[in-house]
């Protein structure tokens, strides 16, 4: 529900009170529709991080692909000082600890929208999908955004 944050954070939960559903922000335009999730900080925000997530009904035992658009940019520091990745808890508990969490690689996109994805097998009739955003330092400027969430069932191969 609300995959592109067009209705604000309706249907989404944050692990920490960081980020917001915004339109054009810090010169960044949403990848899909008129809204996106994230933030731009100027000279502040060291250690800022959150996971924005939602729980979705699925068929236990089926394979899925969770994908979304991610964006980072910065002035000062290194590209890895701000990063975004897609995360899944295939058990649906929204714990996001290392025992249950599956994720894409970390993305540092240098001022471009990029599409990322993670494939997994549902271990319960509900799963949790989301975006993890992390800003390591207070840079002159730091932007992190996510948009366009999509969940697709992966068809079984014909035998």
Cβ distance 7 to 149 under 8 Å? no
pLDDT digits (tens, 9 = 90+) for 10-39: 999 999 999 999 999 989 999 999 999 999
158 in any annotated domain: no
Residue span of the structural domain in which 89 resides: 13-153
96 in any annotated domain: yes
pLDDT at residue 93 in the model: 84
Provide DSSP, 29-58. Answer: PPSSTT-EEEEEESS--TTEEEEEEEEEE-
102 in any annotated domain: yes
pTM of the model: 0.94
Both tokens of 86, joined, read 């897609």
Provide the domain count of the chain: 1
* Torsion angle of the four alpha carbons 118, 153, 123, 66, in this order, in degrees rounded to the nearest 10: 30
pLDDT digits (tens, 9 = 90+) for 89-126: 999 888 777 777 899 999 999 999 999 999 999 999 99
159 in any annotated domain: no
83 in any annotated domain: yes
3 in any annotated domain: no
How close are the terminal C-alpha atoms of the chain, in Å? Answer: 34
Coil, strand, or helix at residue 81? Answer: helix
19 in any annotated domain: yes
85 in any annotated domain: yes
CATH code of the domain in which 42 resides = 2.60.120.260
For residue 60, is pLDDT > 80?
yes
């Amino acid at each position: 529900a609300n995959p592109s944050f067009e209705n604000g954070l309706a249907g989404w939960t944050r692990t920490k009170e960081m980020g917001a559903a915004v339109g054009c922000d810090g010169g960044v335009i949403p990848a899909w529709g008129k809204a996106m999730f994230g933030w731009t900080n100027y000279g502040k925000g060291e250690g800022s991080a959150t996971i924005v997530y939602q729980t979705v009904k699925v068929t236990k035992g089926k394979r899925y692909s969770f994908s979304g658009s991610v964006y980072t940019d910065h002035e000062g520091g290194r590209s890895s000082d701000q990063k975004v990745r897609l995360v899944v808890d295939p058990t649906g508990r929204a714990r996001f600890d290392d025992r249950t969490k599956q994720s894409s690689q970390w993305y540092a996109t240098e001022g471009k929208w990029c599409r990322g994805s993670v494939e997994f097998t549902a271990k319960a009739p509900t799963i949790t999908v989301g975006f993890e955003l992390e800003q390591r330092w207070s840079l002159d400027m730091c932007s992190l955004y996510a948009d366009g969430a999509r969940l697709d069932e992966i068809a079984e191969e014909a035998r």
